[in-house]
Amino acid sequence: EMLESNNIINFNGLANSSSYHTFLLDEERGRLYVGAKDHIFSFNLVNIKEYQKIVWPVSHSRRDECKWAGKDIVRECANFIKVLKAYNQTHLYACGTGAFHPVCTYIEVG
């Protein structure tokens, strides 16, 4: 029924990103935050086609360490965003896998 009503907008992501598994709905700001591989997306809830992205890849040294440990450099040695949490009025708290070296940060969202 939704397909027939033309109310669905597909987001195909980026060529160098995947694993869209972490979501945070921020109704106060009218945003949907989506954590992915090496990226965090911020979608406008009024116009979902409008989005911003933060690129947050793993460092080259961490990626190399991951590769040397026998992991797949494309599928495993990345920063998969796993935690998105509203911290306060101006910041999100975000954590990623950091190629098996977890990393967290605060992101200013205004």
**What pLDDT is recorded for position 49?**
85
Residue 98 lies in a domain: yes
If DSSP codes are grouped into helix, strand and coil, which group holds residue 61?
Answer: helix
Residue 35 lies in a domain: yes
Q: Which of the 8 DSSP states describes residue 84?
A: E
In the chain, how many domains are there? 1
pTM for the whole thing? Answer: 0.84
**What would the DSSP string read from start to end of 28-41?**
TTTEEEEE-BSEEE
Q: How many CB atoms are located within 10 Å of the residue 67 CB?
A: 15
Expressed as residue numbers, the domain containing 48 is: 16-106
Q: Token match 């409008």: residue?
A: 50
Residue 37 lies in a domain: yes
Find the farthest-apart pair of alpha carbons in the chain and give their distance in angstroms, rounded.
50
Residue 8 lies in a domain: no
pLDDT digits (tens, 9 = 90+) for 10-38: 665 665 566 778 999 999 999 999 999 99
Task: Decide which of 13 and 54 is more confident.
Answer: 54
Residue 60 lies in a domain: yes
